[in-house]
Amino acid sequence: MAFVPTGPEASFFDALDRHRASLLAVVKQGAGEAPARVTRVVSSSEVLTSIENIIQDIIKSLARNEVPAFTIDSRSSWENIMFEDSVGLQMIPQCITRKIKSDSPKSVKKFALILKILSMIYKLVQSNTYATKRDIYYTDSQLFGNQAAVDNIIDDISCMLKVPRRSLHVLSTSKGLIAGNLRYMEEDGTRVQCTCSATATAVPSNIQGIRNLITDAKFLLIVEKDATFQRLLDDNFCSRMSPCIMVTGKGIPDLNTRLLVKKLWDTFHLPVFTLVDADPHGIEIMCIYKYGSMSMSFEAHSLTVPAIRWLGLLPSDIKRLNIPKDSLIPLTKHDHTKLDSILRRPYISCQPFWRKEMEMMADSKMKAEIQALTFLSSDYLSRVYLPNKLRFGGWI
């Protein structure tokens, strides 16, 4: 069944087609220079053996009258991170670790919680069943205290065992949405056809299980905020720019949204663009999609898409379009700190145009939300700004 919406004439996509050709050349060159890094599928027996080895170490410690402890790689230290342009932020092999001791008042509770969740994961893997992070939290919400504690421990366990979270049989509920020219089949055989209508499709919770992906899309647009994503759908942007795909992680993206963007890139090698607010928070979100995050650097190869380009909203666009000052927002102290932090990151040295845009923001001491474009007209974003950017190659 063919996709119904028809977009602009073929010549509209000339700049996108040239961009895609350059991306494919880089991919081909990279494949010739080094073997492709494929995310290794970890078997259930390997996960069970890893957990058993950890428990055996605890038993041995007790037998020697030593204090049992978990040794976990530190996921919050830049000293443990290296940057590679083709991958993004990744954890170094020999990194700084921290001890979660069973006799320390500061860490005894966390030690117990790790042990409890390890036990639950073992049962899930052994019985070939799955649970969400939310399910785990509600098995004993009083003990865990809050959902964030569970999420953090599951990521620590994933890092400690050196296996993807999916291999632990722990799922997270997706918050992201997808729309546009895409069809696929879920693991259970359900056929999904995304549309350009106002009703978007929820990002699947099992990205690894989706197959038979089909698209004619010319590009993938990642939209930072749900409100902007919905506005674009309401303005029929997806249909007018057809064929294309739009994704939103509704702010800081969850793991499934990042996995989906990565899968779409690996499968189709489409040009991927981000549409974020011209503020440090929006830039941070774009960097997570492109280069990854420090806390998930141990899974960088399955999450990052370094080919992503910044489409908008650029600080230089604010000046170019003469957006009035009363439509802008002063940078807060927190914004300045965040901006300085991003400018010091290792990947900024290979992004001189990004640096220039961020320095422009810092100098102006102002930021802008995408909604600032409504000053020009209510549908300026979907009718003028994005089509012109895409047609004339206005990305960096």
Strand 201-202 to 177-180 pairing? antiparallel
Residue 138 appears among annotated catalytic residues? yes
User: Whole-angstrom Cα distance, residue 280 to residue 366?
Assistant: 11
User: Whole-angstrom Cα distance, residue 258 to residue 197?
Assistant: 23
Convert 287-306 to b/e letters by CB count within 10 Å (16 or more is b). bbbbbbbbebbbbbbbbbbb
User: Whole-angstrom Cα distance, residue 288 to residue 307?
Assistant: 13
Closest CA to 301 of 262, 264, 329: 262
Strand 191-193 to 183-185 pairing? antiparallel
The size of the chain, in residues, is: 396
And the tokens for 288? Answer: 């997570």
List of residues 6+ apart from 243 with CB closer than 8 A: 3, 5, 7, 180, 181, 215, 216, 217, 218
Helical H runs in the chain? 14-33, 44-63, 108-126, 133-139, 141-144, 147-161, 226-234, 237-240, 255-268, 280-291, 315-320, 333-343, 352-364, 380, 386-392
User: Whole-angstrom Cα distance, residue 384 to residue 396?
Assistant: 18
Q: Cα torsion at 3, 289, 90, 114 (round to 10°)?
A: -100
List of residues 6+ apart from 51 with CB closer than 8 A: 118, 121, 122, 125, 161
Strand 272-275 to 309-312 pairing? parallel
Active-site entry in 122, 130, 138, 347: 138
User: Whole-angstrom Cα distance, residue 191 to residue 201?
Assistant: 12
Enzyme catalytic residues = 138
